[in-house]
Amino acid sequence: MCAGFEGSCLCGGVRFSVSGFSEKVANCHCSMCRKFHGAAFGKLVGVKGLSWLTGKHLLKEFVASNGTTRMFCSNCGSSLGFRVKGESLEKIELAISVFDVDIPVKVDAQIYTGYKAKWCELHKGLGLVVALLTT
């Protein structure tokens, strides 16, 4: 039995547990997050104490032109997570939607809002970042 939080992909082939979360969570409106999640924005959270319980062999990665790596289940296609170029698998940010229960985090910002879909309304009361500069 896990003392933390568990989650999985849609088919249940990939299961994981984490012991905690980063303090910052944002809605990302960049086109890559929108396409990866099939949604108006991506919502990812940094995790602590990640353990792959089952299905690590089912994980597949897509490396985007900017070097970011997005991970998904090769069986059902569920979007699982994201990490920046050069970071280890332990530094992944997981999609909030793949956790089995509501997790104790609060979205505190909206990023890449300059790329948001025109039909998507921004959440009032959250900080806005139009774009982030990368090196």
CATH number at residue 121: 2.170.150.70
Q: Which residue has the higher pLDDT, 122 or 21?
A: 21
Per the domain annotation, does 134 fall within a domain? no
In which domain, by residue range, is 54 found?
A: 5-129
**Percent helix, strand and coil across the chain, each rounded to 5?**
15, 40, 45
Domain count, the chain: 1
What residues have CB less than 8 Å from 71, skipping those under 6 apart?
A: 59, 60, 61, 62, 80, 81, 82, 83, 92
What φ, ψ does residue 95 adopt, rounded to 5°? Answer: -65, 130
Percent of the chain past pLDDT 70, that is, above it, reads 88
| Residue 135 is assigned to a structural domain of this protein | no
Q: Compare 110 and 125 and report the one with higher pLDDT.
A: 110
Segment 16-20 mean pLDDT: 96
In a domain, 65, yes or no: yes
